[in-house]
Structure 1
Amino acid sequence: MPDAQTVLIAGGSGVIGTELARQLREAGHTALVLVRRPAQTPFERSWDPEARWLRVGILDGVDAVVNLSGASISRLPWTLQYKREILQSRIGATATLVDAMAKAETPPRVFISGSAVGYYGDRPGEILTEESAPGDGFLAKVCVAWERAAAPASAHSRVVYARTGLVLGEQGALKPIRMLAKLGLAGPLGDGRQHWPWISLFDEAAALRHLIETEVAGPMNLVAPGPVPAGEIIREVAEDLGRPYWLPAPAWAIKLGLADAGRELLLADQDVSSARLTESGFEFRDTTVPEALAAV
């Protein structure tokens, strides 16, 4: 972003939001973060997405809104109640932002709304692009509804759906893998050959910044070039920590123990293409898993 801009982040206290705010401020921009409590700093703004409340005046002077808000899909188990929370937290937050932007005197010029590669479901043998149809399963339904909730903002703002893969950072998706590796329990999940579309935490935030600056619209896959097998990622984590990679977790046990979460988070095979992102001019800093782990 060549000129100083003001970016409002929903979900700004999470792993991705924190890194995005850091990068924005480092580049000379203003990052405002929505919080669900009274604001305590000049860079915080209060809102209540469960009550669908956001003061319209908060959007005055805001150039872009980035929506990363939603209950964590990494929290297990996925009970029926928690599944409802995963869905409703995303729909409620997105609808709150869209309604406020529609009422603003000068709506933000761009709305980057979160989504995920879960949109595609389990698709072995396919190369998945932004043109691919949605898949089956709980996460696919959540992502479709999440993007649909953001769509009305296109009446006044450029809308991008950021379909994010597995984010490799100190927290988030790497945390449980690193914990297992430290305990000497790392090994293949199922046969370990399923493709995991991944992206480093740095590149995830940098890509979100890129989407604000460029004029692309619609879905955009935020994944590193060339998804790698799940077993390779886990092996790299174990080797990085100097721990063994040996203990397999059979697919039947994962499905039995974790049900939909096991099938969709751990065993799904997704060869997701990042071609559209690179063609838009984005340059990855971390193109291999070892590079991403070294940064962690």
Structure 2
Amino acid sequence: MTEHHRHIVIAGGSGLIGSALTASLLADGHQVTQLVRATWTSPRTDGRPRPDRRTWDTTVAPPPSLLAQADAAICLNGASIGRLPWTRERRRALYDSRITPAGTLARALSRFGATGPLFICASATGYYGSAPGVIIDESAPAGDTFLAGLCAAWEQAARSGGEQAPVTSIRTAPIMHPRALLRPLMPIMRMGLAGPMGRGTQMWPWIGLYDEVRAIRHIIEHRMTGAINLVSPQPASADDIIRSAAHALGRPFWLPAPEPVLATVLGRDAAASLIMADAHVVPRRLMASGFAFRSPDLDDALATLHR
């Protein structure tokens, strides 16, 4: 079945996921409106389509006329969790940059009711915290790490428009890309200092950027609501991922980083949320809906490290 042309509004569309999603939608003839802090764009002469860009104050609802024309509105706003340390000010920025735009869009879209645009709001597999030895699907409760609390508040803000509004929380695993999951570790790996992080056996959920974009488009096409895990079906431990990444860069995997060292260098909350969390998350709802991953292989996803 050919997907008909849609109008998608994307807030936070300049980041890694938003840029890739926008390019994918435009390439297939869909209309994309990005809500951004500034409308200026550099001239482009390659002939490729560009999104319509509207300035947006995240505390103020976008024009109802814009949202009324949309098939879906996607909120990807959020300051990078990979920027360390998580000082008190940084933690407040992590919250405010997510909760404010999610709540603003949720309330703006609520006026359209159950038949209005599908509201897709970012979340993360960090929602589950750490649950060693457990296979985690969308029915699992929130964890007790800082990141789990952040994700729970994020999802609550996305639902603040009321029960009638169609809302999807995409619990995205860290993207296997130099600008995402591996960004804080890239300098260490490039210097040849990679090795086990803590135990190294903790399960790390992950997903390739290509499948992330395809999954979001699948959710739009099938108008799926509720919490949905966007994570590769191939399980991997921290050692698996770091060893494979080091190998892709032609670097060794040998120098262990004990948990107390990680807590000291990264901060206790960041180490517990990003490195030591043990979460075997599975994409139960995606797979049940007929979605087929195109790049479930870890080594294929890590090919992006050379780009």
Aligned residue in 2 for 1:76 = 84
User: What 5-or-longer segments of structure 1 have no aligned partner?
Assistant: none
Contact 1:111 1:160 in 2 (8 A): yes
For residue 206 of structure 2, what is the amino acid of its counterpart? W
Q: 1:229 aligns with which of 237, 248, 263?
A: 237
Is 1:262 aligned to residue 271 of structure 2? Answer: yes
* Alignment gaps of 5+ in structure 2: 42-49
Q: 1:130 Cα shift? A: 0.5
Deviation (angstroms), 1:32? 1.5
> Structure 1 pair 176/152, CA: closer, same or farther in 2 (3 Å)?
closer
Q: Distance in 2 between matches of 1:141 and 1:76?
A: 18
User: What's the counterpart of residue 285 of structure 1?
Assistant: 294
- 2:206 is matched with which residue? 198
Q: Return the offset for 1:156.
A: 4.8
Deviations 1:14-67 (A, max 9, x none): 001001111111222112111012455761011011x33433333241110111
**Alpha-carbon displacement from aligned partner over 1:61-113 (angstroms, at most 9, x marks no partner):** 11101111111111100001111111121110111111222346997431111
The answer to whether residue 181 in structure 2 is matched with residue 173 in structure 1 is yes
Alignment correspondent of 2:18: 17
* TM-fit CA distance, 1:290: 0.2
Q: Quick one: which amino acid aligns to residue 220 of structure 1?
A: I
Q: Distance in 1 between matches of 2:253 and 2:290?
A: 37
Provide the secondary structure at the position in 2 that maps to 1:161: strand
Q: How far off its partner does 1:174 sit?
A: 2.5
Query: Cα distance 1:52–1:227, how it changes in 2: closer, same or farther (>3 A)?
Result: farther
TM-score, normalising length from structure 1? 0.94
State the AA in 1 paired with 2:96: Q
Shift of 1:154: 5.6
Q: Which moved more, 1:32-41 or 1:119-128?
A: 32-41
Instruction: Please list, as runs of the form range in 1=range in 2, the aligned pairs for 1:1-296 lying within 5 A after superposition.
Output: 2-38=3-39, 40=41, 43-49=52-58, 51-103=59-111, 108-153=116-161, 155-257=163-265, 258-295=267-304
Alpha-carbon separation, structure 2, partners of 1:168 and 1:160: 23
State the percentage of identical aligned residues: 42
Counterparts of 1:103 and 1:164, CA distance in 2? 27
- 1:251-281 per-residue CA deviation (whole Å, 9 max, x = no partner) reads 1111122210011101100000112211111
Coordinate RMSD, CA, aligned: 1.9
Are 2:109 and 2:117, in contact at CA under 8 Å, matched by a contact in 1?
A: no
CA distance in 2, matches of 1:223, 1:45: 31
